[in-house]
Amino acid sequence: QVQLVESGGGLVQAGGSLRLSCAASGRIFSINAMGWYRQAPGKQRELVAQITSGGSTSYADSVKGRFTISRDNAKNTVFLQMNSLKPEDTAVYYCKCQSTLNYWGKGTLVTVSS
């Protein structure tokens, strides 16, 4: 079983920055990709950013140029640096680990005030 623990959420003013972390632990044989998703109230969960084991990254159009995803393969940890935050970035952010199965964290709340 794999556990994902997210941290780094909180309250920030518009224009500010936050850095999210997600550490994977447990019976991990191989990780194909790790990513961040978010779900705002009343909306569907959406992909924010993803990084493969080879380091390839992809981003939602809404965060390109503002968010940066990175990972530490040795520690099975993924990070999301969020800059120039906007109120519409307010959501619960979830970490996802794609291995032989897909695993999800419990989420961390990011609130951006105007």
| Residue 66, number of CB atoms within 10 A of its CB | 15
Cβ-contact 48, 40 below 8 angstroms: no
Give the separation between CA 41 and CA 91, rounded to whole angstroms.
7
pLDDT tens, residue by residue, 8-36:
999 999 999 999 999 998 877 787 899 99
Amino acid at the residue 21 = S
Q: How far is CA 67 from CA 20, 49, 84, 100, 102, in A?
A: 11, 8, 8, 27, 23
Q: How far is CA 55 from CA 21, 78, 84, in A?
A: 17, 11, 24
pLDDT tens, residue by residue, 51-84:
998 899 999 999 999 999 999 988 889 999 999 9
